A and B are shown apart, each in its own frame.
Chain A
Amino acid sequence: MKKVSLEVNGRKITKDIPDHTILSVLLRDILNLTGTHIGCDTSQCGACVVHIDGKSIKSCTTLAAEVNGSKVTTIEGLAKNGKMHPMQEAFKKMHGLQCGFCTPGMVMSAIDLLQNKKNPSDTEIRDWLEGNICRCTGYQNIVAAVKEAASKM
């Protein structure tokens, strides 16, 4: 067992967990933060993307013990005082989702893009979202949503 302390969405937590606990499992099954989705579970699809100290990573391919002491932000941590994050607003406004399964990962990844590049081009958005697979939208509206968010953030 390992004692793991994290700040998850601004809340400090400490848990005793088995060494082999994957971060996505800690978030979903132990902390009940089921907004982080698991699609492929082998680092291909991006449904599980969260931020560790502000940078996007795939939580299905990260051990909880590896990020001990870090700040974790999940999709549940984006809204402030009941108001959606501009990226969430933009996905809603531009119809950037259909079934919504890929959406938490898309949103977390896209926010990291805007942290790196303020006004990305369509190509830059598509390149950045390389690791996020969507089975529904055809991506067009996702790109439109990221552009919309870029204009607001």
Chain B
Amino acid sequence: MKKFNYHLVKDIKEAKKLSSPNSTFLAGGMTTIPSMKLGLGTYKDIIDIKGIKKLSGIKVSGKILKIGATTKHVEVANSKEVKKSIPSLAALAEGIGDPQVRNKGTIGGSIANNDPAADYPSACIALNASINTSNNRKIDSENFFRGLFETALKKGEIIESIEFEIPLKSNYQKFPNPASRYAIVGVYVSKYKSGTNVAVTGAKSCVYNDKDLSKALSNNFSSSAIDKVKISSSGMSSDIHASGNYRANMVKVFAKKAVEAC
């Protein structure tokens, strides 16, 4: 691995001051460290944000579940507040990777990275989440996830917390890659008074809200409503794990599973 300077910062101000075109933030490191080893990223400065106290923690107030960016997957999976308010989110966290990945990986890191097969981005879209950043921005999920590994974050902007709107009911189902547990296809369904959201991850180059499925389920929240929806394979990823047609079909299969488990 190439040399770099490691900085453990105490607050956002210090992190921002150190940030440059040649730096990156370090949370769980589960993505950053392997990609540095593989030569996919080289940095002069690594800014460890895990020491910033206000970035960690879980809190419910009213209809909002707020999770700090450096909160680890294991903490979300085991949290009484999350299990009570949005059980499907705790289950999602429990299904990420393996115990050692969950002991280090963070929600903020997962969202900032926006891997096309990551689980959390689908939760953000389905649960009307907003992403609070160090630039005093509150970004809607629909505007946050921009494309393959691309988000609305500006250079040096730090995710501070994620606010999820607590639904009436919700469920997440994925077809995990048997090696990594990343989603080959993952579907997050959540029902609100105002309507239902269906977010899909793993299928395309970026997480998305499937408007047709969302509309069908908003009109009639049942798995039979899904039968009538046509899912096109255009834009679906095709790789050694699954073809585009297969993924398109899996979106329906997993949407049904999620509705039935709601």
Tell me, yes or no, whether A binds B: yes
Q: How far is the CA of A136 from the CA of B33 in the complex (A)?
A: 28
Identify A131's interface contact among B34, B48, B97, CB under 8 A.
B97
- If A62-B33, A66-B26 touch, whether A57 touches B1 (CB-CB below 8 Å) is no
Interface size range on B against A: 20 to 34
Within 8 A of B (CB), among A83-136: 109, 112-113, 128, 130-132
B240 contacts the other chain (CB 8 A)? no
User: Are A57's CB and B104's CB within 8 A?
Assistant: yes
A55 at interface by CB-CB < 8 Å: yes
| A131 & B99 in contact (Cβ 8 Å cutoff) | yes
B contact residues around A28 at 8 Å (CB): none
Could you tell me if A20 and B1 are in contact, using CB atoms closer than 8 angstroms? yes
B30 within 8 A of A: yes
Select the residue from B1, B97, B180 with max chain A CB neighbours within 10 A. Answer: B1
- Which B residues, 39 to 60, have Cβ-Cβ distances below 8 Å to chain A? 46, 48, 50
Chain B residue contacts of A44, Cβ below 8 A: 179-180
Binds A, one of B3-11, B12-20, B166-174, B244-252: B3-11
Judge whether B139 is part of the interface by a CB distance below 8 angstroms.
no
CA distance A62 to B32 in the complex (A): 10
Cβ of A23 to closest chain B Cβ, rounded Å: 10
Contacts of B180 in A (CB 8 A): 44
Nearest chain A residue, comparing its CB with the CB of B97: A131
Which of A61, A131, A132 counts the most chain B CB atoms within 10 A? A61
Question: Does any Cβ of A come within 8 Å of B228's Cβ?
Answer: no
Kindly state whether residue B22 has any CB partner on chain A within 8 Å.
no
Report yes or no: A19 in contact with B34, Cβ–Cβ below 8 A: no
| Interface check A74, CB cutoff 8 A | no
Of B3, B6, B38, B103, which is within 8 A of A63 by CB?
B6
Q: How far is the CB of A97 from chain B (nearest CB, A)?
A: 19
B181 interface contact, C-beta 8 A: yes
Expressed in whole angstroms, the Cα–Cα distance for A11 and B143 within the complex equals 50
Contacts of B140-177 to chain A: CB distance below 8 A:
none
Q: Are B100 and A46 in contact (CB under 8 A)?
A: yes
Question: Is A7 located at the chain interface by the 8 A CB criterion?
Answer: no
Say how far B36's CB is from chain A's closest CB, in angstroms. 8
A143 within 8 Å of B by Cβ?
no
Chain B residues whose C-beta falls within 8 Å of the C-beta of A58 in the assembled complex: 100-101, 104
Give the interface centre of A41, A55, A130 by most chain B CB atoms within 10 Å.
A130
Q: Is the CB of A65 within 8 A of B29?
A: no
Q: How far is the CA of A131 from the CA of B179 in the complex (A)?
A: 9
Whether a CB of chain A sits under 8 angstroms from the CB of B227 is no
Could you say which of B3, B6, B100, B179 contacts A56, with CB atoms under 8 Å apart?
Answer: B100
Q: B residues 73-130 with Cβ under 8 Å of A?
A: 97-101, 103-104
Question: Could you tell me if A20 and B2 are in contact, using CB atoms closer than 8 angstroms?
Answer: yes
Contact with A19, one of B4, B29, B101, B104 (Cβ below 8 angstroms): B4
Any B CB within 8 A of the CB of A42: yes
Q: Is B37 an interface residue (CB 8 A)?
A: yes
Q: Which residues of A contact B1 (CB under 8 A)?
A: 20, 22
Residues of A within 8 A of B181 (CB): 130
The verdict on A18 contacting chain B, using a C-beta distance below 8 Å, is: yes
Produce 1/0 per residue, B199-216, CB < 8 A to A: 000000000000000000
Known: A130-B181, A131-B98. A62 touches B6 (CB 8 A): no
Evaluate contact between B99 and A109: CB separation under 8 angstroms.
yes
Contacting residue for A57 out of B37, B46, B103, CB 8 A: B103
Q: How far is the CB of B219 from chain A (nearest CB, A)?
A: 37
Q: What CA separation (Å) do A4 and B50 show in the bound complex?
A: 17
The 6 tightest CB contacts between A and B, nearest first, are A131-B98, A130-B98, A19-B6, A42-B34, A65-B6, A61-B33
Q: Could you list 20 A-B pairs, sorted by A, with CB under 8 Å?
A: A2-B6, A18-B3, A19-B4, A19-B6, A20-B6, A22-B33, A42-B38, A43-B34, A49-B100, A58-B101, A61-B30, A62-B33, A63-B6, A65-B6, A65-B48, A68-B8, A109-B100, A128-B98, A130-B97, A132-B98
